[in-house]
Amino acid sequence: RGAGRRPRKRRMTPVGRSFLRGLYEQEVGMPESTITALLYYDKAPAQHVLVEEFEKKLWPLYRFSSVVVGDDFVQVDSPMDRAYHFSELEVADEAEISAHAQSVMASPLARDHPLWKTTTLRARRGRSAVMIRIHHALSDGLGLLFAFLPLMKCEDGDVLSKIRLPAMLLGKRATAPAPRPVQAHAPTRRKKTFGLPGLCNVVRMFFRGVLSILAMKEDAELKFNPPKAQRKPFLKYSGRHVFTRMPPVPVQAIKAVRASHNCTFNDAIMAALSGALRRYGVEDLKDPSLICGGDTECKAFMLVGLPRPVDQRDPGVSMHNRILTPVLKLPVDQETPRGRLGSIVAAVGDLKSIPYILGIKLTTNLVTGILPVWLMRRIASEAISKGSCNVTNLPLPDVAVEVAGQQLSEVQVIFVNNIPQISLLTYNGFLYWNMVSDLALIPDPAALGRYFLDEFGKLAADGDHRADRAV
């Protein structure tokens, strides 16, 4: 190769390769791992501006300008195919935008082009949207966030500083937070232990991480879960899944829970989700296991982005798929908002354990990079068939930004799984979220959205000066 010339062929990471080949057994019938994003606008950007922004800022990234050949990204020799990658469609309103997104969310992308496409959905009434579909083999959610940063503009120009990401994800050393007042009934986290007990705890947490997926317990036959017989050997994708856009949650409502309970932002979100699932099971499905007591095992897979290089001059360095999927038990058996929050705080404390995460990382590397493909697919298929939902949570800028010359008003990310997929994003003062789920098991998914929003008020009111009250 000549001096300064970029290589045309680059090896895929084991995780990216697994996404492309398929993580699951064929009999599961899972759609390809494709991320569908909806960028909502009061006025959609001009098509030529959108095309030029992608061509100038994304096409130079080799993952956006490569086809996959075998296990490699191979950059194409030709210019960006505008006719393939960009299309427009007139729709009536936002409901038709959602309907169109649902109709294509499980469709595969063509392998003879770079693995992404956009469609501008111009509404005759209300907001329009730009739909972007990207194969998960290109990157994970955090990597795509970094890739799209050059397309975002805010008032002072520094978009990255407006995204609340942990310092370690940006390659920085975390600063010690200012001490917060300890409240009388604040949820407690486990204290660190030292010496031989501490070493034993490290070993215990490491092997808990290793076995969290390999020896995962099957979730209960709650009414929003499929019967156990349908999950053996694997839960098949039913094709009845619907995309439901939920009511947005003001970030101030989540901060009120933090102030009331001295917990984290994500603690509040997962406690509210647990409460919403419990209330839906009790009030809508009349689930006897939740009403009278019984087996209530209910777990969520949590997609967690790992630290990576960050260089705003070259977003491509951040695009490797670097994710783990720890498992979080959802306390749907707890009758009070405070009880659910306390259980979440304790469980999330385990997820922050370095030995626990190292155990999961070791298992992930083993499954995706070393084991035969058939064994990887069997392990992944068995694991996801045992859970109740899959949850992703990605922070976007906490101020309004422009993309392609127009201001974004909302962002949704859609993904399809055989179990309910819950995708959350914070943007400009709101938590936006949606769920893709099987209508036969969750016939009124919008009710979950209403309960979720209401749970934050209950949690904030159920602080230090309120007695616990059952749902």
pLDDT at 363: 80
pLDDT at 465: 43
- Residue partners of 175: CB distance under 8 A and separation at least 6: 167
Classified as helix, coil or strand, 265 is: helix
pLDDT at 468: 42
Q: Looking at 40-49, 338-347, 461-470, which range is the least confident one? A: 461-470
Beta strand 86-91 with 406-414: parallel, antiparallel or unpaired? unpaired
349 or 90, which is more confident?
90
Residue 190 has pLDDT above 70, yes or no: no
pLDDT at 98: 98
Q: Name the residue type at position 186.
A: A
* Class of residue 90 by CB neighbours under 10 A (exposed 0-12, middle 13-18, buried 19+): exposed
Q: Looking at 109-123, 159-173, 263-277, 365-379, which range is the least confident one? A: 159-173
pLDDT at 371: 77
> d(Cα 60, Cα 367) in Å, to the nearest integer?
32
Classified as helix, coil or strand, 83 is: helix
Q: Which domains does the chain have, with CATH numbers?
A: 9-163+206-465 (3.30.559.10)
Predicted TM-score (pTM) of this structure: 0.89
* Class of residue 157 by CB neighbours under 10 A (exposed 0-12, middle 13-18, buried 19+): exposed
pLDDT at 194: 54
pLDDT at 200: 77
**Residues 287-299: what's their mean pLDDT?**
92
- Residue partners of 147: CB distance under 8 A and separation at least 6: 58, 61, 63, 64, 139, 315, 316, 318, 319
Residue 448 has pLDDT above 90, yes or no: yes
Q: Name the residue type at position 436.
A: V
206 or 76, which is more confident?
76
pLDDT at 466: 44
DSSP secondary structure string, 120-153?
Answer: EEEESSS-EEEEEEEETTT--HHHHHHHHGGGEE
pLDDT at 111: 95
Q: What's the DSSP call for residue 20?
A: H
Residue 360 has pLDDT above 70, yes or no: yes
pLDDT at 316: 78
> d(Cα 314, Cα 150) in Å, to the nearest integer?
10
**Residues 277-282: what's their mean pLDDT?**
97
Q: Give the mean pLDDT of the chain.
A: 88
With both helix axes pointing from N to C terminus, report the angle between 445-461 and 265-279 in degrees, rounded to the nearest 10: 130
**Residues 369-375: what's their mean pLDDT?**
81
pLDDT at 359: 80
360 or 288, which is more confident?
288
Which tokens in the block code for residue 80?
């960006």
249-271 residue pLDDT tens: 999 999 999 999 999 999 999 99
38-70 residue pLDDT tens: 999 999 999 999 999 999 999 999 999 999 999
Residue 234 has pLDDT above 60, yes or no: yes
pLDDT at 393: 94
Percent of the chain at pLDDT above 70? 90
Residue 467 has pLDDT above 70, yes or no: no
383-429 residue pLDDT tens: 999 999 999 999 999 999 999 999 999 999 999 999 999 999 999 99
Instruction: Report CA dihedral (466, 273, 319, 356) to the nearest 10 degrees.
Output: 70
Residue 347 has pLDDT above 80, yes or no: yes
Residue 185 has pLDDT above 60, yes or no: no
pLDDT at 6: 59
Instruction: Report CA dihedral (456, 462, 468, 469) to the nearest 10 degrees.
Output: -50
370 or 291, which is more confident?
291
Q: What are the φ/ψ torsions at residue 253 (nearest 5 degrees)?
A: -65, -35
Cα distances (angstroms) measured from residue 435 to each of 48, 209, 329, 431? 32, 27, 19, 13
Cα distances (angstroms) measured from residue 383 to each of 16, 299, 306? 19, 11, 21
Residue 326 has pLDDT above 90, yes or no: no
- Residue partners of 372: CB distance under 8 A and separation at least 6: none
95-152 residue pLDDT tens: 999 999 999 999 999 999 999 999 999 999 999 999 999 999 999 999 999 999 999 9
Residue 291 has pLDDT above 80, yes or no: yes
Beta strand 66-69 with 9-11: parallel, antiparallel or unpaired? unpaired
Which tokens in the block code for residue 189?
């986290």
Residue 195, CB-side half-sphere exposure with 13 Å CA sphere:
1
**Residues 429-447: what's their mean pLDDT?**
97
